[in-house]
Amino acid sequence: MAVEPLVLVEKGALTSEPPQSGPLVDRFGRHLEDLRVSLTDRCNFRCLYCMPEEGLPWMPDAQLLTFDEIERLIRLFVEIGVREVRLTGGEPTLRAGLPDLIARLGAIRGLESLSLTTNGFLLKHLSRPLAEAGLTRINVSLDTLVTEKFERITRRDALHRVLEGLEEIERYPSIWPIKVNAVAMRGFTEEEIIPFAELARRKPYHIRFIEFMPLDADGTWNNDQVLSGEEIRQVIHAWRPLVRLQDDTSSTSRNYVFEDGIGRIGFINPVSEPFCSTCNRIRLTADGQLRTCLFSVEDTSLMGLLRAGASNGDLERTIRSAVWRKELKHHINEGAFFVRPNRSMSQIGG
Ligand code: SF4
């Protein structure tokens, strides 16, 4: 597995003070413009690679950021350079009043993109309110198109609901693109590759394969389980030729279109082709902790400051200081050097 040949140069010492104005940057000069906000750690699925069958000890409601706190923080983040917000979970559609929150966030000047990552279970019912509230993009997690395998991996008999939800969201062109994210795992995904490629040609969905990452709650991940993006690309290319597209610098996905122009496929390869050198992402957990990397081993509490009556100036200084110290990269492929993050995926959000 590859270790990314980083070209980043430290522009400031870890101990030096970050710039107190201008765009949000880290000491390697990366601009942090993409904020992932988890609305809850709860989920109505029990995906094998994410959490145990009985679920996890959920955060009590009092420990979750309120909508007022979320709106205040996102307004501040947008003031200092964030341009994209993605709402995640657990499963964000379980948070009551989600369309109202989206309407409030959608009204924030300077916010260019407001998206949602969902397992799609409630999408048929929520598509219209989400569109009317101003959602602009959506990511639906779906690892298989086989009913029995879906039930085996999510511990829910719900494939039909997710597919119905996708069909419903198609009716709202204001939500575009519709991305479908499939976690790629060796011994599970191989049979799904061509059916997903066919789906990309049949439907207006951008199908993306995401390499399995060590964020599982039971900590059993290992490299042998990773089915690399390149392996999948070769299978699809042999089936129907793919043409590489020009991606945005900070794009996590390597995107392709079929030679005849019908259908779009992407590969998100954090394990085999890490993309930390162009990372523009930070995360806010449902309990108000700022995470500067998906694989952070520590958080910076904004919740504590908020509830202690901190000013926006105090919050901004704390955010800038934490982001300045953002991790250079993940160490997944560096054996003992890799330390598992202090939270599992459902407690961080995608
Ligand atoms: S591992 Fe961390 S630094 Fe690398 S791309 Fe992901 S969030 Fe960014």
pLDDT value at 346 more than 80: yes
* Mean pLDDT across 207-233: 93
What's the domain range around 181? Answer: 11-348
Q: Give the dihedral of Cα atoms 268, 269, 274, 280; nearest 10 deg.
A: 10
Measured over the CA atoms of residue 169, residue 170, residue 173 and residue 177, the dihedral's sign is positive
* pLDDT (tens digit per residue) in 18-36: 899 999 999 999 999 999 9
* Residue carrying the six token digits 């996708």: 166
Percent with pLDDT over 70 in the chain: 97
Q: What is the pLDDT of residues 278-304, one digit of tens each?
A: 999 999 999 999 999 999 999 999 999
Instruction: Give the mean model confidence (pLDDT) for residues 181-194.
Output: 97
Strand residue runs (E) in the chain: 34-38, 84-88, 113-118, 137-141, 178-184, 205-211, 242-244, 253-258, 264-268, 281-284, 289-291, 300-301
Confidence at residue 1, expressed as pLDDT on a 0 to 100 scale: 45
Indicate if ligand 1 lies below 6 Å from the C-beta of 295.
yes
Expressed in angstroms and rounded, the spacing between residue 274 Cα and the centre of ligand 1 is 8
pLDDT of residue 16: 81
Q: Is residue 50 part of a domain?
A: yes
Containing H/E element for 159? helix 159-169
Q: How far is the CA of 223 from the centre of ligand 1 (A)?
A: 18
Of 3-17, 88-102, 168-182, minimum mean pLDDT range: 3-17
Q: Is residue 335 part of a domain?
A: yes
Is 277 part of any domain? yes
| Residue to substitute in 32, 34, 213, 281 for testing ligand 1 pocket (most ligand atoms within 8 angstroms of CB) | 281
Give the CATH number, domain containing residue 290.
3.20.20.70
CA of 145 to the centre of ligand 1 (A): 29
Q: Tell whether the model's pLDDT for residue 261 goes beyond 90.
A: no
Domain assignment present for 181: yes
pLDDT at 248: 87
Q: Residue 67: inside a domain, yes or no?
A: yes
Q: Which of 77-81, 138-142, 247-251, 323-327 has the lowest mean pLDDT?
A: 247-251
Query: Tens digits of per-residue pLDDT, 92-127?
Result: 999 999 999 999 999 999 999 999 999 999 999 999
Q: Is the pLDDT of residue 8 over 80?
A: no
Query: CA dist 232 to 138, 186, 196, 257, Å?
Result: 23, 10, 11, 14
pLDDT reported for residue 2: 52
Q: What is the distance between the alpha carbons of residues 155 and 149, in angstroms, rounded to a whole number?
A: 9
Does residue 325 sit within a domain?
A: yes
Listed residue (199, 207, 197) closest to 239, CA to CA: 197
pLDDT value of residue 330: 93
Domain count, the chain: 1
* Residue of higher predicted confidence among 96 and 335: 96
| Stretch 68-91: mean pLDDT | 97
Residue 4 in domain: no
Query: pTM score, two decimals?
Result: 0.94
Residue nearest to atom 2 of ligand 1 (CA): 293
**Is 5 part of a structural domain of the chain?**
no
Q: What rounded mean pLDDT belongs to the chain?
A: 94
**Position 341 confidence tier, pLDDT thresholds 50, 70, 90:** confident
- CA of 124 from ligand 1 middle (Å) equals 32
